[in-house]
Amino acid sequence: MRLLSIVLLLMSSSCFAQNSAQYDACNEKAQVQSEINRCASDEAARVDAELNTVYRTLLQQVKRPAYVAKIKAAERAWVVYRDAYIDATYPATDKQSEYGTIFPMEVNMLRATLTRRQIEALREMMQTYKGD
């Protein structure tokens, strides 16, 4: 289990370069795992709020109802994919005992990473619909 935690931490560390200044400041002050977990949870919430803003902007930009419906369907499918991806990454039933106290931080940072990727995908889609 210790080796798994180290491997997961190393894998997730490449994502830290994209973290917000708020996360970095919070994490720097954190003294115990519960505080680190809270920093990660706040980061995931910040990125999710950004996703919602970009998504709403995209929907406002698209004029054709049929296109809006397809974008909404794609976003719903992405949420299902994101949740399934996280569940596949951490498949244990008893996640706390399997992955330890670092689990909440890891899952929130993975959620933030996946959400950042989706934000970029939506921004690319906005370029496709520019002038629609």
* pLDDT, tens digit, 9 for 90 and up, residues 74-104: 999 999 999 999 999 999 999 999 999 999 9
* CATH number (domain holding residue 61): 1.20.1270.180
d(CA 86, CA 114) in angstroms, rounded, equals: 9
| Residue 39: burial class (beta carbons within 10 Å; 0-12, 13-18, 19+) | buried
Tens-place pLDDT, residues 20-30:
889 988 888 98
**Domain coverage including residue 64:** 2-128
d(CA 62, CA 56) in angstroms, rounded, equals: 10
Number of helical H runs and strand E runs in the chain: 6, 0
- Domain total for the chain? 1
Tens-place pLDDT, residues 18-73:
898 899 888 889 899 999 999 999 999 999 999 999 999 999 999 999 999 999 99
